[in-house]
Amino acid sequence: MRESLQSKEPAVFGSIKKQSFKLLILAAFFFAFSNCTTNTGTGVIAGTIAGAGAGSLIAGGQGALIGGAVGALGGGLIGAYLDDQDRKTMEKSSPRTIARMDRGEPLTINDVIKLSQGGVDDNAIIQYIRDTGSSYNLSQSQIRRLQDAGIHQKVIDYMVATGQ
């Protein structure tokens, strides 16, 4: 009897480890191939991964599902709060840029600079450029101006590509 209990114990833990490993691989795949441009999206993904990982360690497969759901909700709420704070900051520092974005009008070079200086993530700036249909035919002096303003090369490259 004692031998049968000992032989089953590793199988149960092996099953939990396999489920946990599968969930972690799935979460890593989801995280790697998602392009979050908002704090809300990032919060949902990070919360899901953390919650699923913790739930999996505590209670196995069902714990991972519950933990992932709770983590997604918590992460999303925190992210939404941060997005709201970012918007309020931008409304104070550059209300014209926010108004232009809300109307879906193309962003100016000054708007891109204001967004970057306001702490908006590069991926979010690129998404805003895409969403507003902004197109740029940048001169060398405009590119230098963007660089001098601290705009990352990734954003500048995207802006240049819109004009081609």
pTM over the 0.75 mark? no
| Greatest alpha-carbon span in the chain | 82
Q: Is 64 a residue whose pLDDT tops 60?
A: yes
pLDDT at 58: 77
Centre a 10 Å sphere on the Cβ of residue 108 and count the other Cβ atoms it contains. Answer: 14
pLDDT digits (tens, 9 = 90+) for 102-121: 888 899 999 999 989 888 88
Q: How far apart are the first and last CA of the chain?
A: 75
- 34 has pLDDT over 60: no
Mean pLDDT of the chain: 76
Task: Kindly give, in sequence order, each residue whose CB lies less than 8 Å from that of residue 145, ignoring residues fewer than 6 positions away.
Answer: 109
Contact (Cβ atoms closer than 8 angstroms) between residue 104 and residue 131: yes
| pLDDT value for 25 | 59
Instruction: Give residue-wise pLDDT tens across range 45-61.
Output: 777 777 777 777 777 77
Task: Kindly indicate the confidence band of residue 7, based on its pLDDT and cuts at 50, 70 and 90.
Answer: very low
Radius of gyration of the chain (CA): 23
